[in-house]
A and B are shown apart, each in its own frame.
Chain A
Amino acid sequence: MNSLSVRGLTKTYKNGVQALKGVDLDVEQGDFFALLGPNGAGKTTLIGIVTSLVNKTEGHASVFGHDIDRELEAAKACIGVVPQELNFNQFETPYTIVVNQAGFYGIPRPVARERAERYLKQLQLWDKRDKMSRGLSGGMKRRLMIARALMHEPRLLILDEPTAGVDIEIRRSMWDFLREINARGTTIILTTHYLEEAETLCRNIAIINGGLIVERDRMSSLLRRLNTETFVFNLRNSLSAAPKLEGYGTTTLVDDHTLEIEMAKEQNLNDVFAVLSALGIEVLSMRNKVNRLEEIFMRLVEGNANGRGGVGADSGALTAAAARRQGGHP
């Protein structure tokens, strides 16, 4: 059974904006799933419809087989949601917030108190349990929303930008925590702008753009499609212009000591070093420019926006698939 199944979901807002244009999506039980897309792509609208914060225009959605039109209460009982925007009462304490939230899901108060202690401790908020929530730091507020979403131990946890504004140390501890939750059997759907986060955590991915799913694949399969990579070379001596390298992709001089070179998968680094050496350019160190998913994401989104482009050797197939989903031509 799928944790989430969406068919032909559309949403047109009163102002005429068509946020979703017929989304089909399945998320398997136990998955750690990334739902990515640029701002305004339709991610939050899709989550809003599933969690009943937004009324859909057309289509169907079900959560663990519970149709949101016919069994809304049962569907919602399965979901825990961490929204993008802060949505707790800032004048209440973290402890009150999480205990009350458990109550809204029918968790008896003694059980809720036990869970409140467990989750607030796990998310390093126990010391702040009796402080006014508005006094918490941005990262603490985000963690409070995660603790709140877990109070009824949902089968499906939806996280909409859960680590926005959270420092790297806490973000990584939150990743470990989410992996643990997922390992216990909870399906997780994650939207994030930190693509490294999605690449690190998620097994499957969908990319939404302009209200349509433009890509849906296993993370590993998607990453394999990328056939170029950009490397950053730190140089001993300064350069005034980027050298022209035959047979390589774009070469960019970031500053007088930093050179970026785009390389195809089949090209090896020894050859690059040899070419650079022949030009009298001495390399001090080298690193990969961006995480691979970011590169794919940008190509998909930009390609989709321009009606061209795509990912490496499969770019044609991807763009064609995206166009077919939009009912257009590749």
Chain B
Amino acid sequence: MSSVAQEALAPSIDLGVIRWIGFKTIVIREYGRIIRIWGQTIVPSAVTATLYFVIFGSLIGRRVGAMGGFDYMQYIAPGLIMMAVITNSYANVVSSFFGAKFGKHLEEMLVSPLPSWVIVSGYVAGGVLRGLLVGSSVTIVSLLFTHLHVQHALVIVAAVLLTSVTFSLGGFLNALFAKNFDQVNWIPTFVLTPLTYFGGVFYSVTLLPGWAQTLSYVNPILHMVNAFRYGFLGVSDVNVWVAFTLMIAAALALFVTAVMLMDRGSGIRE
């Protein structure tokens, strides 16, 4: 009997190995997708950031003057980087996972022995990867316009990772529930974009009237952007520890929800 036959009759199943190799495969596949369509995944955010720096930073920013003790361009740079990380982490997972669901090739993973938490982790890692790639490209663009001083490197890394994980999970949940491409776009258009623009990317919330400040503190993106800005500039409109607590709690809650929904087959199984 051939080796194939023997393997077919008495295989050993090492679930740990399957999970690890399976996770790496999802990440490699996601990376391949990001690079294959780089014109859609990486370039647009760099172009948008350049326009923001030219218009808001260079043209309008000169008249705005100092913000939080820094020149305007320097003040908005961390927010623009974070904005790119948020939108790209979210967009990567929502489009990739929904595309797999829509094209039915998600079934390749669903019939495999990979548990839900590995599939979720793989897609999230893909979202983080794109978030970091795009964040890096926007950082390079911002260095063409202003100087960035790193005050707290660990805070920067932790904030960007936690934010990216959180929004990747958000994208995953969106894709899980979406039944068509319209529903893929609803959350980014009607929720994510307003929250990002009101999340202190372009201004300090201290400029707002009291009620608007209070309302802003409910916006999770305000905490993420300010934690990240604190890493660069050493100033923040929010308590950084509170911001990190919120980010960790949000990431955990979203991860558990995503895995539970996957296990139940919500949106993916009949």
Contact = CB atoms under 8 A, between A and B. Distances in A.
B270 A184 contact: no
A184 B8 contact: yes
Interface stretch (A102-110, A164-172, A262-270): A102-110
Interface in A89-114: 89-90, 96, 100-101, 103-109
- Chain A contact residues, majority secondary structure: loop
- How many chain A residues sit at the interface, stated as a range, is 35 or more
B148 interface: no
Contacts of B14: 106
Contact of A153 (B7, B32, B100, B109): B7
Nearest to B8: A185
Nearest to B122: A104
B92 to A, nearest CB: 16
Given A87-B105, A103-B21, A103-B22, A55 B9 contact: no
A51 B111 contact: yes
B18 A105 contact: yes
A189 to B, nearest CB: 14
**Max chain A CB contacts within 10 Å: which of B11, B17, B25, B29?**
B25
Nearest to B16: A106
5 closest A-B pairs by beta carbon, nearest first, are A103-B25, A106-B18, A104-B112, A87-B104, A185-B5
Contact of A104 (B5, B11, B109): B109
Interface string A47-87: 01001111100000000000000001110111101010111
Contacts of A73: 13, 15, 18, 113-115
Given A51-B111, A73-B114, A154-B8, 12 more contacts: A52-B269, A73-B115, A74-B113, A76-B111, A77-B18, A85-B104, A86-B104, A87-B108, A106-B21, A109-B21, A153-B4, A184-B8
B19 A90 contact: no
Contact of B8 (A88, A104, A186): A186
Interface of A: 13-14, 29, 48, 51-55, 72-74, 76-79, 81, 83, 85-90, 96, 100-101, 103-109, 148, 153-155, 184-186
A148 B108 CA distance: 9
- Chain B contact residues, majority secondary structure: helix
B17 to A, nearest CB: 5
Contacts of A186: 8
A87 B29 contact: no
22 contacts: A48-B270, A52-B110, A54-B270, A55-B269, A72-B113, A77-B13, A77-B18, A87-B105, A87-B107, A87-B108, A89-B100, A104-B25, A104-B26, A105-B18, A105-B113, A106-B113, A108-B21, A153-B7, A154-B8, A184-B1, A184-B8, A185-B9
A74 B112 CA distance: 10
A89 B105 contact: yes
Contacts of B40: none
A103 B13 contact: no
